[in-house]
Amino acid sequence: MEVVKRGMNQERRWIKAIQKRSSEEAANRLIRKYYQEIYAFVFKQTFDQELAKDLTQEIFVSMLRSIFRYDGRASFRTWLYKIANSRIIDYYRSKFYKENKHAPIISEELLEEPEDFVVDIERKEEAQSVLNVLARFGQQHQQIVRQKIYAEQTFAEIADSLSIPESTVKSQYYAAIKRLRKELGGEK
């Protein structure tokens, strides 16, 4: 517990240094702390290393541009995931994506039978279809599904990040999963 507390205090000092002095060193440390986590989150949704690197870089550029408005009400991690979610949603709504869609490469390990629908949508062969359908959902539904499945956040963490009740998050998540199943032909 003490180590976590120290880490959070260090993170707060870096954020303050960036906000007050535009500290490059603090910005680099903050980015280093979260880079792999955010990159993995983006990669799970794109299955393209170069695209994931580009989007991750854009997310951190956006974070640095808007960090002066970060007020600490939500955790920094939660706030950063909001930025990441928005950027990914923007990408999938972009004209570039719609004109250059491509199917992900399927590896042999993915050819085995999925145990349930949530596990199934994490697999590469389903990802493109799921992301195409998900892009048609409202932004809040997209954020909830992305944070639950790709960022592996709890309903409580998602509720905190979106400033809505946990019960609303749960009902919207399950409604979105049901709609995904239906639109992907998984429900008769």
Do 6 and 86 lie in one domain? The reply is yes
* Same domain assignment for residues 92 and 3: yes
- Say which CATH number the domain at 20 has: 1.10.1740.10
Residue 139 and residue 114 share a domain: yes
Quick one: 114 and 63 in the same domain? no
User: Domain check: are 94 and 135 in the same one?
Assistant: no
- Give me the domain span that covers residue 22: 1-102
d(CA 162, CA 74): 9
Residues 24 and 54 grouped into a single domain: yes
CA-nearest of 70, 95, 68 to 82 is: 70
Alpha carbons 27 and 11: distance in angstroms, whole number: 10
Task: Quote the number of domains for the chain.
Answer: 2
Say what the pTM is: 0.68
Same domain, 5 and 54: yes
Distances in whole angstroms, Cα of residue 105 to Cα of each of 51, 92, 102, 114, 134: 14, 18, 9, 17, 20
Torsion of CA 121, 89, 128, 163, to 10 degrees: 10
pLDDT in tens, the chain (188 residues): 565 566 678 999 999 999 999 999 999 999 999 999 999 999 988 888 999 999 999 999 999 999 999 998 888 998 999 999 889 988 887 766 666 655 444 344 443 444 455 555 555 666 777 788 888 898 899 989 888 888 888 999 899 888 899 999 999 999 999 998 888 876 54
